[in-house]
Structure formats: C-alpha cells, structure tokens
C-alpha cells in the first residue's frame, strides 16, 4: 500500500502543479529534492511572486524510521518504527477576492521491531479560506467535495464536513479558519471497509481537488481590488498563520519528527499583518465574513 500511495501522490503533485502553473501563466514551481537524516525524504515545489499566486507550495514526502519519544506519547505506543507519506499544499493568491486553499492526503504505518505492520491508516482533506465571501464559490467547493464522497458513502460528506469545521477552528479567536470542506483521519480497515477501500476514497478526493479549486481561482484572479481589500487579506492571513502554528497537528508532527523546516513552514504567506484589536466596520463585507466564520454553514442548502 505504501508504494502504491506514494506513486499516486507523485502523479497528483504533477497534475496539480501543472494546473496551477497554467492559471498563473507567469511563475513556475521551484523544485527541491531533500533527504531526511533518519530516513526518507521528499519533493518540495514552491511558487512565488506569480501573476496570480503570491506564494504556494505543493509538497510530497515519504519518511520513515524510529518513532520519536514525543510522538510515542502522542500516539500512546511503545518503541515502534513508522512510515508516513503524503501530499500537502497551500496556495495563497495575490488577489484578495480569490481564496486561499489548503489540502492534504496522507498515509501512515507503524511497525513492531520485527517489521510487522501493527497499525495503518489514511487521513486528509481540503478546505477553503476566503477573504471576501462569494456564496457561489463556497457552494462549488462543497459540491465538488460531496460528489467525491458520495461515490463511496453517503455519510462521508456530512461526517467529514463537520470534522473539518471542528478541526479548522481558531478556538482562541472563536472563529473558523475558513469555510471548511473535508477533514478525515485515522481511516483504518474494518470488517466493512478494507484499506483498499480507503485508498479508493482518499484518491477520489485527491483527484477532485483541481476541479474544486481552479475554477474559483480563474473566476476571481482578475477582479479589481483596493489597498483596503489587500490590508484585510493580510490581516486575515495572520489568523491563518495563528492556526498553523498554534493548532495544526501536521505542523506539530513535522516539527517533532525532525521534518524539513522549509517544507513544513511553506504554508505561511509572504505578507501578513497583525493589527491590535482590529474590527471591521458594521455592515461591511469584511464584517459579514466574520459573522459567517462564527458558526459553520451548510453551504449545500444555501
């Protein structure tokens, strides 16, 4: 399974970076191949200062070795070895009318000292973070997520949409990071669903990403905007950074397993503002966004 999924994410990385370069039409992804001292490595691709994309990364990695003590405590296991591979991406467009997007699809195995698999699971998802809310974009993104889920189980979309709303939540701010999408983790084999079934589902979601996001980016990338719009985008990006550094489990895992720091922190935008006690004017588009972020919305009933 690990060879099969790693091959899949290599191909998916090519598909996504090609699609994004086509939309940007100016910048291309810079590729770095790297190795992890304890075992494994990855292929990082970063795009910066494009016509459409201010900063973005589409990274794959496959790492292995002894599970660090800090992570043994986290997973509540003894001295074991692990393998983890996945694709992680974040795209920060230049235009404030275009949303930031994040996605991740990953696979994990743990082994005893004889090399026998003692646990394995999939995880992942994709979520949208707009700075100015266009209802039709939210509906498109969530509809694409639901279509991918429904091919496997009608309960997947409502379940993983709720988990996404719960996970990507800045509790210290009392607001969602964005308008959600899908989030799933610890997808393990059961009597009803094999690990191959989970592979089919996760790759279905991965394959849906370009259709979920690129049409939105194409629609919004050339809209007019002012410095005030740009300021708001950078203030909201600050909240994005707060989530990634305070709450995100993937960032934590990378830092605790001696991951490549440049790849882990490539999700951080180039230009960010933190203004003291900032509140948008009542009735503005900015205030309306904050109102929506206070409580999850069922976008498919809008």
Distance (Å, whole) CA 57 – CA 87: 10
Contact criterion met (CB below 8 Å) for 210 and 16: yes
Phi, psi of 100, deg, nearest 5? -75, 150
CB half-sphere exposure, 116, CA atoms < 13 A: 3
Element (H, E) at 118: strand 117-129
Distance (Å, whole) CA 61 – CA 59: 7
Contact criterion met (CB below 8 Å) for 126 and 182: yes
Distance (Å, whole) CA 169 – CA 192: 31
Q: Is 67 left (phi over 0), alpha (psi -120 to 50) or beta?
A: beta
Q: Cβ neighbours of residue 106 under 8 Å, at least 6 residues apart?
A: 84, 85, 86, 87, 88, 122, 123, 124
| Residue (of 179, 178, 184, 127) closest to 153 by Cα position | 184
102 is an active site residue: yes
Whole-Å CA distances, 31 to 40, 57, 66, 73:
17, 10, 28, 34
Contact criterion met (CB below 8 Å) for 163 and 220: no
Which one of 64, 92, 102, 229 is the catalytic residue? 102
Q: Which residues are catalytic?
A: 102
């Amino acid at each position: 399974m690990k060879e099969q999924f790693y091959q899949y994410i290599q191909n998916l990385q090519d598909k996504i970076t090609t699609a994004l370069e086509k939309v940007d039409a100016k910048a291309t992804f810079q590729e770095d191949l790297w190795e992890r001292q304890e075992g494994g490595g990855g292929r990082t691709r970063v795009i910066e200062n494009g016509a459409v994309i201010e900063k973005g990364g589409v990274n794959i990695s496959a790492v292995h070795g002894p599970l660090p003590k800090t992570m043994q405590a986290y997973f509540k296991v003894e001295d074991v070895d692990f393998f983890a591979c996945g694709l992680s991406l974040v795209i920060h467009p230049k235009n404030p009318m275009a949303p930031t997007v994040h996605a991740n699809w990953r696979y994990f195995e743990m082994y005893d000292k004889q090399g026998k698999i003692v646990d394995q699971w999939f995880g992942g998802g994709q979520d949208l973070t707009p700075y100015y809310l266009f209802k039709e974009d939210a509906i498109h993104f969530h509809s694409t997520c639901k279509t991918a889920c429904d091919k496997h189980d009608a309960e997947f979309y409502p379940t993983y949409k709720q988990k996404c709303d719960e996970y990507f939540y800045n509790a210290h701010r009392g607001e969602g990071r964005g308008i959600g999408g899908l989030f799933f983790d610890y997808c393990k084999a059961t009597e009803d669903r094999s690990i191959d079934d989970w592979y089919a589902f996760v790759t279905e979601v991965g394959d849906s990403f370009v259709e979920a996001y690129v049409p939105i980016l194409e629609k919004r990338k050339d809209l007019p905007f002012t410095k005030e719009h740009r300021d708001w985008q950078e203030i909201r990006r600050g909240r994005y950074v707060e989530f990634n550094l305070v709450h995100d489990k993937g960032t934590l895992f990378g830092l605790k397993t001696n991951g490549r720091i440049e790849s882990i922190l490539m999700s951080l935008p180039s230009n960010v503002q933190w203004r003291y006690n900032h509140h948008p004017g009542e009735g503005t588009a900015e205030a309306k966004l904050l109102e929506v972020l206070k409580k999850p919305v069922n976008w498919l009933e809008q």
